[in-house]
Structure 1
């Protein structure tokens, strides 16, 4: 062809050929060389598995960001209540030129007795630290909560010398409900509380205060996948009982109370998710008077846990 010919007088047509025209420059040889083992699907850019893995990592990072970092309990009454309850505060912030009353005096005294640092700071700085919550000149900083592993909860329950009793929350997003459930779990002898990684409240300042300090004593773990974790516990011999308004049995007919048991509490609105409900050995309802709306998650959990504790006490006396 004229474009490639080296004959004298041959003319190259500009713009009609790209790259080398004499030889391949080694490109054919390199094309025959191996490129090593094929990467795993989740390591290949653009592969659906890689996109799913990246999304899962992003969700996990978001969850960690939500739960890490100190929390500040704001307000005179909440701070005094938290200090009375033994919430493990690290610093008590007091606004400069605060109009002190009995609550401020008690908060400072309790913090000093517990060895908690007391710092006077400008009100504007306290506004910033509390995200402009109504702090009334007082804020108590609490450290990031240290969560356990689900396996640790099972080990604690199995080594307790009693039939294991664990509580799992399915989508409870109100930290006040979470704190109240933790308090009830401690009151009625549960060995630990399990939270899902997604769509769940964490142990924030609000949950700390609502739990009345019991969050410092109750092991609390996070499950990457709640349904999978419940199935793993079931394989270890635990029975799964879920609270549900349309439960298969009423609380009076709960036959699993004295067995190794996991009580699952659904969300405030939709109750148990479908997969969690299918994992339960029994779903339990609480009978109520006609015309009364359903109980919220924390109250329902307290009622069921109280009944489980009563039946276990009765069985122990037989």
Structure 2
């Protein structure tokens, strides 16, 4: 299916405390709850007024590293670094901070399509590694993307690992999770977005395929790439002009380069 193209938040840390629920090691405290770790991920979550915070586990040094003050009566339990290590995934770099909080509320595709059309939307097809999804969110934040869209059945859940890789971007980049990715791409097309899928075999480079209007960047899983049905829902397929010395790029690296190209297009 083809078409033709035509400041930083306040540093006062916020908190809405609730009752903590259990769970260890996986990064998910329980259904509807998530456990985050690491300074950037935890601090961004504390600054996010949309987060319902349950409890902060921390070392004295971890709290001191936060760029702001915790609210009075915020539930903090001080512990050693070794004790905090038992609350998170094995060998996770918690940096003296582990936060139990509610998962973020869902964002609808309609909300995203009402955003600034000059900002690209990133669609991920079957990218299931939370490190990659988190890194892509970080690049999406860096280059002003409006949102990241994934399919529920073919993407990782919100987790501490993903949040750590996103380095705070999980709190600022809307994450839209849809049931049917092909239908979502159809809706984006109807809203005036030009859908470009990245594929190493494409004849055109990304620079050649980029239009001047709203763009959706579609990326598939490493190795398999985009599924056939998703490719059929792209208006163009393009490649990054990498050297023949290497077969392909990690999907998060490819996303960063493509988002930079979109941000700097003429």
Do the two structures share a fold, i.e. TM-score over 0.5? yes
CA contact (8 A) 1:240 1:280 kept: yes
2:36 and 2:83 map into 1 onto residues whose CA distance is 13
- Aligned match of 1:141 in 74, 99, 107? 99
After superposition, the C-alpha distances for 1:41-61 in whole angstroms (9 at most, x for unaligned) are xxxxxxxxxxxxxxxxxxxxx
Q: CA deviation at 1:136?
A: 7.5
Question: 1:269 maps to what in 2?
Answer: 223
- Aligned match of 2:189 in 234, 243, 247? 234
1:66 and 1:289 map into 2 onto residues whose CA distance is 45
1:136 and 1:88 map into 2 onto residues whose CA distance is 15
In the alignment, structure 2 segments of 5+ residues that lack a partner are 1-28, 48-52
Higher gyration radius (CA): 1
- Aligned match of 1:292 in 240, 246, 250? 246
In the alignment, structure 1 segments of 5+ residues that lack a partner are 1-64, 74-78, 95-103
1:109 counterpart = 2:64: yes
- Aligned match of 2:33 in 41, 59, 69? 69
Question: 2:113 maps to what in 1?
Answer: 154
When the two structures are superposed, what TM-score results if normalisation uses the length of structure 1?
A: 0.64
When the two structures are superposed, what TM-score results if normalisation uses the length of structure 2?
A: 0.75
After superposition, the C-alpha distances for 1:96-134 in whole angstroms (9 at most, x for unaligned) are xxxxxxxx5441224572335320358997566436655
Secondary structure of 1:198's aligned partner: helix
After superposition, the C-alpha distances for 1:225-256 in whole angstroms (9 at most, x for unaligned) are 10111012112221110111112411231232
| Pairing of 1:76-115 with structure 2 (within 5 A) | 79-83=38-42, 86-88=44-46, 90=53, 91-94=55-58, 104-110=59-65, 113-115=69-71
Question: 1:310 maps to what in 2?
Answer: 264
Higher relative contact order (CA 8 A, sep 6+): 2
CA contact (8 A) 1:67 1:202 kept: no
Q: 1:304 to 1:291 in 2, by over 3 A?
A: same
2:94 and 2:83 map into 1 onto residues whose CA distance is 13
Number of corresponding residues: 229
Secondary structure of 2:33's aligned partner: coil
